Structure 1
Amino acid sequence: MESSMSYNLDITPNYSYIFEFENEFIHQNSRKWMTENWTVAFYYVGIYMAFIFGGQYYMQNRPRFELRRTLIVWNSALAAFSIMGACRTLPEFIHVLRNHGLYHSICVPSFIEQDKVSGFWTWMFVLSKLPELGDTVFIVLRKKPLIFLHWYHHITVLLYTWFSFTEYTSSARWFVVMNYCVHSVMYSYYALVSMGKYPPKMLAMTITVLQLTQMIVGCAINIWAHNYTATVPPDSCHISQINIKLSMAMYFSYFVLFSQFFYKAYLSPKRGKKAKTEPLPEIAPTKKVEYNGYPRQRNGLVH
């Protein structure tokens, strides 16, 4: 590790340590690779959809896989990755917002171009959307209901983040930090559940509220970005109009779908005998709201 930085300290926070792999990050190389290969994401999406429908068909007359230990490792690894990403990107976000204001945080991609730490973890964030498709593998192999929001969210996030990195979309600073922070809590929750621990129901509800808040903030950032691009000189705000439109449509659709899920999980009228929340696979409640392979009785939680 290194304890000093060789780039603009006015734009970047004064990190106490920088890992060698962070210090060696060259954003131009990553952008070049992504620009040349971002359309490959569509092939991954095709394979993903084929697995969903083919896998469900294959498993329909076969016993489910338990995969408990694998699930513990999987969720714990994603939780650790998200926590690390949040810890490494949040300081730059706070520093820029506090010292350079809202305009810079939305319109200037210094978090990639001038900050090796935040740049590296932004790159990792984009790439992580591919292995995160593995969440669906557990649902299919364990024969759990797969809701539309699950696979729609995975596909659109993968395509959007890969495309945005080719443009160095400056508003992504907000999206990356928010997603890392929410996923830190969410995957930690999943890790506990897969270990047989039972966090309070309020924690699941809080995560869902955080997810809804993320969608509201995402829409607000896109509105601000649109206003900035309309009022500042051309090319002063590093966001394309097509990116703003895609991001706005994506976040708004998420908000609608997450709101529907929240209503079904917490607010819809209950039928029959009230059952306690049991997130483990052995428990089979009469009415379930499921996500990421865990049955939940009135315990809404969406990735």
Structure 2
Amino acid sequence: MNAVVLLMLLMHPNYHSLLSYCTSTAVFFLFVAKGGATRTVMALDSLPSRVVLLYDEWLKLADPRTEDWPLMASPIAQTLIVIAYIYFVTTLGPRLMENRKPFDLKNTMVVYNFSIVGFSIYMIYEYLMSGWANGYSYGCDLVDYSSNPLAVRMAWTCWLYYFSKFIEMLDTIFFVLRKKTSQVTFLHVFHHSIMPFTWWFGVKFSAGGMGTFHAMLNCCVHVLMYSYYAVCAMGPAYQKYLWWKKYMTTIQLVQFVMVTVHIGQFIFMKDCPYKFPVLLYIVGLYGLIFLVLFLNFWYHAYTKGKRLPKVAQKSKALQNGNGVHHSNGVAKEATNGIFYGTTNKVANGFHHGNGIHNKEK
């Protein structure tokens, strides 16, 4: 709740006055507290009404075009979905599966992964046609809040991307149903939980402009990632078609470099009146953080050789004068396998989408 209120304040164009108002309110509470418990209770009783007023003031800044779209009236509906998702994948699901055999979801996952590929291709096309290949400069591209068909098309594409974040929650649900609960890590669940919230604000207040470049780029990466997952789910006979997997980490490093550079240019622009710049800073920070995580992964995976093939690892160990070879185990039958950091369960692992998922062979 505190984070939401803070973001509301930062997104307000007159946030300096609002911060002053909140500060004076806090001082008032302290003053009242010194005067006695009765006046303190009275002041606290007025707090909900003040929050409601702030919330109403904040919603006046929202994009009216998206108000009646599914899930966009308020953040309550998506909050309930996210809570249900977290509860199922961390508590209810593992409890229900405890004494059951894992579900065989091979065919389901093939269809699911190829569906994500198709959906991602469609969103790439819509992003290009509504701006990125049709008028955007890749510089200071502002949000068009008009009812122009092209502007509305861009806003709707942003909503589609937002909605796709709920579909991708199935990644985790499949883990639970297949009893791969070791892959349901904190970072994985946090990523799938926070993305809908981040994009709700984006669609609600800034559906378009330069803040959507990373979404289009991420859709391109998803086409490759979910294609890999789909082919993996089809079985060992299709592994020969996955020769390009060794390039995936490089592709994702390039992705985050491009996102960071594109958003970073906003800092040096002297005249770019983007209405809600805080959203650009969030995107930039997100890209920078995962760029660092990817570089760390690259270092441990390839420079230190922790995820090299066994032959290469053995050769590297002998070159270092170490007669003992510690090879990394490869977990089997874990399509859409997701791990983090430098876990020793993954050989030739690579990261997925926004930098959260590592892939098992």
TM-score by length of 2: 0.61
Q: Taking structure 1 as reference, are residues 28 and 85 closer, same or farther at Cα in structure 2, changes over 3 Å only? A: same
Matching of residue 36 in structure 1 with residue 73 in structure 2: yes
Q: Residue 169 of structure 2: which of 121, 133, 140 is its match?
A: 133
Q: Residue 214 of structure 2: which of 175, 199, 208 is its match?
A: 175
Residue by residue over 1:68-103, the C-alpha shift from the partner in whole angstroms, topping out at 9 and shown as x without a partner, is: 111111111111111121123224312324xxx333
Which residue pairs with 2:87 in the alignment? 50
Distance 1:260 1:58 in 2: 37
Equivalences, count: 260
Which residue pairs with 1:298 in the alignment? 348
- Correspondence 1:49-128 to 2 at 5 A: 49-54=86-91, 55-91=93-129, 92-97=131-136, 101-105=137-141, 107-109=142-144, 114-115=149-150, 116-128=152-164
- The letter for the 2-side match of 1:40 is A
- The structural deviation recorded for 1:190 is 1.3
Distance 2:101 2:311 in 1: 26
**Which sections of structure 1, spanning at least 5 residues, go unmatched?**
1-26, 277-284
CA contact (8 A) 2:106 2:233 kept: yes
CA contact (8 A) 1:82 1:181 kept: yes
Distance 2:283 2:306 in 1: 35
**Which has the higher mean CA deviation after the structures are superposed, 66-75 or 267-276?**
267-276
Distance 2:227 2:329 in 1: 27
Percent of pairs with identical residues: 25
Residue by residue over 1:17-64, the C-alpha shift from the partner in whole angstroms, topping out at 9 and shown as x without a partner, is: xxxxxxxxxx85434545522343332222222122112344345432
- The structural deviation recorded for 1:183 is 1.1
Q: Matched residue of 2:349: which SS?
A: coil
Q: Taking structure 1 as reference, are residues 128 and 113 closer, same or farther at Cα in structure 2, changes over 3 Å only? A: farther
Matching of residue 161 in structure 1 with residue 199 in structure 2: yes
CA contact (8 A) 2:307 2:348 kept: no
Which residue pairs with 2:320 in the alignment? none
Q: Whose RCO is larger (CA < 8 A, sep 6+)? A: 1
- The structural deviation recorded for 1:166 is 0.8
- The letter for the 2-side match of 1:47 is A
- The letter for the 2-side match of 1:138 is F
Distance 1:29 1:108 in 2: 13
- The structural deviation recorded for 1:177 is 1.3
CA contact (8 A) 1:56 1:143 kept: yes
Distance 1:45 1:255 in 2: 26
Distance 1:181 1:157 in 2: 17
- The structural deviation recorded for 1:127 is 1.2
Q: Residue 329 of structure 2: which of 279, 286, 289 is its match?
A: 286
Which residue pairs with 1:209 in the alignment? 250
Q: Matched residue of 1:95: which SS?
A: coil
Q: CA RMSD in A?
A: 3.4
Give 1 or 2 for the bigger CA radius of gyration: 2
Residue by residue over 1:166-186, the C-alpha shift from the partner in whole angstroms, topping out at 9 and shown as x without a partner, is: 112522330221122111121
Matching of residue 191 in structure 1 with residue 227 in structure 2: no
- The letter for the 2-side match of 1:244 is L
Which residue pairs with 1:218 in the alignment? 259
- The structural deviation recorded for 1:136 is 0.7
Q: Taking structure 1 as reference, are residues 130 and 185 closer, same or farther at Cα in structure 2, changes over 3 Å only? A: same
Q: Matched residue of 1:171: which SS?
A: helix
**Which has the higher mean CA deviation after the structures are superposed, 243-252 or 173-182?**
243-252
Distance 1:208 1:111 in 2: 39
